Structure 1
């Protein structure tokens, strides 16, 4: 069996083990070390070590020499070096800080006040409660970047309120599921940090590139909610008289200043300091973490128990991401050494695809991978397989990264493995069926594809801000 065939076997075994439920990070490390031992094995080293021994060597010396030859393999040096490379990666330093900011903000009791205020402020807009829920989801998701937390919290807060307001369960569920996933696209997104670390793309340019597509997607969602409420009023009835409290304009302004403004200022401070070059992403993440704690103190939601829980969740999630990187780096290094990467490049290059056809094929594969896998696993493990092919088709990795970030929205919304739907079903009232949640989410999948099409037709949606702030490369 040739080395490239061994590389394909390595990839096939990995996919099979993932579907069997094995831990992905440790599966990657085990396969990387196992196949790497084969790739780097040099039997001559062992025999040379034995030849240096004299005829009077005792049994213990023979055993230790055999063990030394057995473990004298470059794969172990590679594994240690890859682990050190991940832990010393300056880009990944921002991950725990942004995670900590998100977990602290999640526990600061901001969302309840924000949703109530936006619901009152938008009362005259068709589908006002849905609009308020989506804007709250977008802000909260952007501040936390944790899909499960946003969907769960908004499901506990906004879904019962919308059902009491006679909203269609499917329509209401779709708003929360779609809005909760926006945090992996809109900066400061942890997913974009991970993509930048995997691809070598500047995280600053990537944040600038993802901002307008993220806002475009939010705009499409809002247009859909309002249009559906106008064309089909039964799914989102206007609030009855007396259903919402009458709030004087001055009091409403105060409510907005105390609920919407603090969270918006925190997000803009973090993102603005990055885009305008005032701070590195890591420094901005530190500012955000401090700002999150200040907000929690202001809202009287800071306690030692909540702080300890936030630290624990941050460490756990960061460890998961870092071990995935260690396993992926080791796996991909061995896969490339065996010739698997070159074989894939030759195969794809021989298909005579146009850049558009390659983009469609790559995004279709990522879309299908989103059913069984988390976004972190797709970005860290599978996206690097596509990256060397981008130069062949003259595709900017920046553009490709934003397309992937958009595409991964669908992985949380598309049955049968739509995790947002399962998060919501876990806390939804019993009368809300999973099939209703799936049905409510599907229109938003279509809008994600529409946004991706707009990006391809009008690529300046992606490139305008990076070129404006940092010039062309």
Structure 2
């Protein structure tokens, strides 16, 4: 509204010819994904399903939409099942590898070595926390968030169990607060090159004249916003803890 030229109108040959075509596009292209989102998130918010079960609700909703669009064919279902099996196999292999790593790491006393290393740095609990978040941020350039969690948490857990930030965050609230800090930090892994998922989604859109270098430059403000959010959550824990306390969690 302030600078309309920043969001120019569609070309006449691309825009709907009349209101009937516009509403047709809305019902065919906009309403179905919104319905699916509401179905999945609504089932969680209203307590009808756990987040895991909501995945099944979403799959059921997707089947309904495919049937409504007359795309529910045996070949489509077979392709979906095969790809789902491959993704699940990949995830379970990651879980198996991470579990084996964690077991060997602790069996060899790796957690004691890491805890002693951080103690000898002499940077205090705040410095250790900053260093942890920095490690996660850097790993986000090269790893998916699942791998980061499964690799990092076994290493950091012994340190987290002994950390005390005094009056800044109560010991009983520390793990909840740290989990949100970690989640906000991990959001950057979707944007940071060279392996950020969102970068490849944008590249997959195949926008004429837009190269990977343009996308890398374009994500910088958004990464800065994520880091500002991380700093705010770190400095003001009540941003995270207010709602759980209100709900008595």
- What TM-score, normalized to structure 2? 0.79
Structure 1 residue aligned with 2:115: 345
1:339-392 per-position Cα deviation (integer Å, ceiling 9, x unaligned)? 111221222234344444333211111111122222221121223312332232
Which runs of no fewer than 5 residues in structure 2 stay unpaired?
Answer: 165-172
- Counterpart of 2:215? 437
For the 8 Å contact 2:43–2:49, the answer to whether it is kept is yes
Q: 2:168 maps to what in 1?
A: none
- Cα shift at 1:454: 2.5
Contact 2:16 2:22 in 1 (8 A): no
Contact 1:354 1:393 in 2 (8 A): no
Matched with 1:389 is: 159
Deviation at 1:446, TM superposition (A): 0.8
RMSD: 3.1
Choose between structure 1 and 2 for higher RCO, CA contacts under 8 A separated by at least 6 residues.
1
State how far apart, in whole Å, the 2-side matches of 1:388 and 1:276 are: 36
Change beyond 3 A, Cα 1:356–1:410: same
Alignment partner of 1:373 out of 137, 143, 158: 143
In the alignment, which residue of structure 1 is the partner of 2:167?
Answer: none
Cα distance 1:312–1:466, how it changes in 2: closer, same or farther (>3 A)? farther
Report how far residue 442 of structure 1 moved: 1.3
Residue 266 (str. 1) matches residue 44 (str. 2): no
Q: Contact 1:270–1:285 (CA<8 Å) still a contact in 2?
A: yes
Is 1:455 paired with 2:227?
no
- 2:125 and 2:153 map into 1 onto residues whose CA distance is 17
Report whether the alignment pairs 1:321 with 2:91: yes
How far residue 424 of structure 1 moved from its aligned partner, in angstroms, is: 4.0
SS at match of 1:396: helix
Count of equivalent residues: 240
CA deviation after TM superposition for structure 1 residue 299, in Å: 2.5
Residues 293 and 302 in structure 1, CA contact (< 8 A), matched pair in contact too: yes
Unaligned segments of structure 1, at least 5 residues: 1-124, 127-229
Deviations 1:70-92 (A, max 9, x none): xxxxxxxxxxxxxxxxxxxxxxx
Q: TM-score, normalised by structure 1?
A: 0.45
Are 1:421 and 1:437, in contact at CA under 8 Å, matched by a contact in 2?
Answer: yes
Matches within 5 A, 1:209-224: none
Displacement of 1:254: 6.8
